[in-house]
Amino acid sequence: MARQPRLHHCSTFPEICLPMNFRHYKATDKHTCLAIFDSNSDTYFDASERAEFEAYLDSLGSDSHYFVVELQGCTVACGGFGIYEDTGSLCWGMVLRSYHGKGIGNALTRYRLNKLRQSPVVSVVKIETSQHTQAFYARHGFVVLNTVEDGFGVGIDCVAMQLSVRGDEFK
């Protein structure tokens, strides 16, 4: 019996069996990224963080490490990373709320981690996330460093996590 070809991102999440397009953020994506933020506000982001996210988007140049994810031409997720000395950091990663649980966040996280792995200087990757996504990042190998209750806003803790890089593999 012939093996079936593996479809892009279908093996784990059969709901999304279409190819995902990852591309660099452009200024024309700003309103869509803000809408993605808004769809996650109150649970995953405090509304007070919106201005900070908007300022971040405004600061991005053409050489930024911020990306959008498209499905059939529609932007459904965005996220980026930074590098400082030997430390990579994931930043402002989010998926349109109606697309949660379909593998897009996993694909976006793997995409960013693979980009960071290409840097010869990165030895650890850090993220500040909330208690609502802590388990998600733990599944990718991140461990909790500390937690600040209500660190992002009322009911949204700031959970600092870290992933060690050993050789070419993330552990």
The answer as to whether 108 is a domain residue is yes
Please give the tally of structural domains in the chain.
Answer: 1
The answer as to whether 160 is a domain residue is yes
| Residue 4 pLDDT greater than 50, yes or no | no
* CB-based contacts of 164, cutoff 8 Å, min separation 6: 123, 124, 170, 171
Calculate the alpha carbon distances from 113 to 3, 60, 119 in Å. 29, 20, 10
Q: 3-state DSSP call for residue 59?
A: helix
Q: Helix/strand/coil (H, E, C) string of 19-49?
A: CEEEEECCHHHHHHHHHHHHHHECCCECHHH
Is residue 136 within a helix (H) or strand (E), and if so which, with residue range? helix 134-139
Any idea what the CATH number is for the domain that residue 121 is in?
A: 3.40.630.30
Task: Output the pLDDT for position 122.
Answer: 94
57 vs 59: CA distance, rounded Å = 5
Task: Output the pLDDT for position 39.
Answer: 96
The answer as to whether 15 is a domain residue is no
The answer as to whether 10 is a domain residue is no
Contact of 76 with 94, CB cutoff 8 Å: no
pLDDT tens digits, one per residue of 110-168: 999 999 999 999 999 999 988 998 999 999 999 999 999 988 989 889 999 999 985 54
- Cα-Cα-Cα-Cα torsion 103, 144, 115, 44, nearest 10 degrees, comes to 50
Nearest of 111, 115, 147, 109 to residue 128 by alpha carbon: 147
Over range 84-109, report the average pLDDT: 95
Percentage, residues of the chain above pLDDT 90:
71
The answer as to whether 68 is a domain residue is yes
Segments forming the whole domain that contains residue 85: 20-170
Over range 63-71, report the average pLDDT: 95
Look up residue 52 and give its DSSP letter.
H
The answer as to whether 3 is a domain residue is no
The token duo for 98 is 């109606």
The answer as to whether 60 is a domain residue is yes
The token duo for 149 is 């209750």
The overall average pLDDT reported for the chain is 87
Over range 67-90, report the average pLDDT: 95
In terms of DSSP bridges, do strands 20-24 and 66-71 run parallel, antiparallel, or are they unpaired?
antiparallel
